[in-house]
Amino acid sequence: MVVLAVPVDRRGFDLDRRRIGHAGATAKLMTIGSPSRRSAMLALTLVIVGAVLIGWSLVRLWPHVVPQSGPAVTVSPTVPPATATEPILPPAPTGLSLATQERPIHATPSPRFQTASPTATAVVGAGLSPTPSVGPGPVTLAPSSSFTPSSVPSATPVPVSKGLYSLRQRLGVGASSRRVTQEVARELEFGWYLDWTARADAFRSPEVEYLPMIRIKNGQPHLKGDALRQAVKALPGAVWLIGNEPDVKWQDNVPPEVYAQVYHDLYDQLKVLDPACQVAIGGVSQPTPLRMRYLNLILEAYQSQYGEPMPVDVWNVHNFILREERDSWGVDIPPGLTEQTGILYEITDHDDLTIFRQQIVEFRKWMRDRGQQDKPLIVSEYGILMPNEYGFPARRVEQFMVDTFEFFRTAVDPALGYAADGYRLVQRWCWFSLADPRYPTGNLVQLESGQLTPLGKAFRSYAESPH
């Protein structure tokens, strides 16, 4: 129950008492003989009586308006409170907890945005040359292999071409609060990772690739000069990510024209220092129409400033499903845009597979329409940020993770995908996260012990299963 506390200025009561006292003294000086004076005295009496009644009412209401002393209200530590700087999560649901309600694991509400042109259906398991079916609406997938979380698949996996990468090379993790070591990589069997920075001493091996990131703060790259030269020298042939969620105001928060300038300068420097490296654009939080408009502004600013198209070796995007509303929970509005709202996703949309798939297809269409289809696409961050109390228990998160792995592994479309990788829509993907204290729902290892969580065991089972 919400109780509103109404502050009362006790100094007002003292002032009223002084005024009442002065009025009483004045009344004593007045004679009662004149009718006009009798009327004035009557009016003054009514004012005094009214003031007394109002004061008495306030005194009686005081205990009900102001909360009485009692035990402090505590917030469950498993529900990270929203803050003014990063309100990713909405307020906690009231009433019956979503976690106790029956929700289907595969929720498929109607898509929140329609395709501007017919959508080629992504065909699963059709090898290098599937025949696309054309029709309006979201992407549909052929039946995929059944996978029992935390165990080996019970059915024969869908046959797809191997393409450019093995399954391990495709599987990545984000390491936010725990450093990646050879032991962790061997236990989970992922093939690449990032840690939202650029470490010259980051763990790498023939089986595990490290993708450094150059963050952008206040319009400036955090790595430059000698530090940049040393990092590039230590990480030859790396894929460099320029920025992290430049579209989100509590992440890198970069206006389109500023991002175009920073990207241009870093791209040129990186290519001079290491011609073998690749440069990837910073991933926007989710490929919605609003975020793709932000990317359009970046491309237009680059063309305007430098007279040529923006060079991108690897396209990169995040694939969260979060609310787009100014000064609300979610990911707000990208810098440089004047809209007040984008797609108003709700809590229950956060793991919706139909939305998840459609966002990737829409982004691949966006790439194709700009002549970028023949480029690799990585999803460098996605997962479940909502806690269990919001309706996302461990079993549901596990199912979502495995289903999205299968989508990435098997979704191919010659009208949209990358030809060099068997027309797959996505080449590599990165789960959030290895271990994060603020958003622990998707953690693969325990924060303190480093032991695998049940979700981490499901990740390993998937990586080990024969695909």
The tens place of each residue's pLDDT in the chain, 467 residues long, gives: 333 333 333 333 333 433 334 434 333 333 334 455 556 566 666 666 566 565 554 444 333 333 333 333 222 223 333 334 578 899 887 654 444 444 554 433 333 433 333 333 333 332 222 222 223 333 333 333 333 333 333 333 445 677 999 999 999 999 988 899 999 999 999 999 999 999 999 999 999 999 999 999 999 999 999 999 999 999 999 999 999 999 999 999 999 999 999 999 999 999 999 999 999 999 999 999 999 999 999 999 999 999 999 999 999 999 999 999 999 999 999 999 999 999 999 999 999 999 999 999 999 999 999 999 999 999 999 999 999 999 999 999 999 999 999 999 999 999 999 999 999 999 999 999 999 999 999 999 999 999 999 999 999 999 999 87
- CA distance to 66, 71, 75, 258, 425, per residue, from 3 (Å): 8, 15, 17, 46, 51
| Residue 86: HSE in the Cβ half-sphere, 13 Å Cα cutoff | 10
- Asked if residue 284 lies in contact with residue 337, where contact means CB atoms within 8 angstroms, the answer is no
User: Of 106, 148, 155, whose CA–CA distance to 457 is shortest?
Assistant: 148
pLDDT at position 181: 96
Is 88 part of any domain?
no
| Burial classification of residue 295, based on how many CB atoms lie within 10 Å of its CB (0-12 exposed, 13-18 middle, 19 or more buried) | buried
d(CA 153, CA 298): 43
d(CA 409, CA 412): 9
User: Of 192, 185, 279, whose CA–CA distance to 232 is shortest?
Assistant: 279
d(CA 440, CA 437): 6
Is 3 part of any domain?
no
Is 205 part of any domain?
yes
pTM exceeding 0.85: no
Is 108 part of any domain?
yes
- My answer on whether 278 and 152 are in the same domain is yes
Domain extent at residue 423 = 98-464
pLDDT at position 217: 96
CB atoms closer than 10 angstroms to residue 116: 10
- My answer on whether 125 and 52 are in the same domain is no
Is 77 part of any domain?
no
pLDDT at position 93: 77
- My answer on whether 298 and 248 are in the same domain is yes
Give the pair of three-digit tokens for residue 22. Answer: 């002065």
The dihedrals phi and psi of 140, each to the nearest 5 degrees, come to -120, 150
- My answer on whether 302 and 417 are in the same domain is yes
Total domains, the chain: 2
Is 75 part of any domain?
no
Is 5 part of any domain?
no
- My answer on whether 203 and 303 are in the same domain is yes
- My answer on whether 46 and 169 are in the same domain is no
Question: What residues contact residue 34 under an 8 Å CB cut-off, 6+ apart?
Answer: none
- My answer on whether 226 and 157 are in the same domain is yes
Q: Looking at the chain, how many residues does it have?
A: 467
pLDDT at position 78: 31
| Burial classification of residue 205, based on how many CB atoms lie within 10 Å of its CB (0-12 exposed, 13-18 middle, 19 or more buried) | exposed
pLDDT at position 76: 29
CATH number where 447 lies: 3.20.20.80
- My answer on whether 57 and 121 are in the same domain is no
Angle formed by the axes of helices 353-369 and 394-410, to 10°? 30
- My answer on whether 42 and 106 are in the same domain is no
Give the pair of three-digit tokens for residue 144. Answer: 């995929």
- My answer on whether 49 and 115 are in the same domain is no
- My answer on whether 57 and 120 are in the same domain is no
- My answer on whether 49 and 196 are in the same domain is no
Is 372 part of any domain?
yes
| Burial classification of residue 185, based on how many CB atoms lie within 10 Å of its CB (0-12 exposed, 13-18 middle, 19 or more buried) | buried
Tokens 């996978």 correspond to: 147
- CA distance to 27, 32, 34, 42, 131, per residue, from 39 (Å): 12, 10, 9, 5, 96
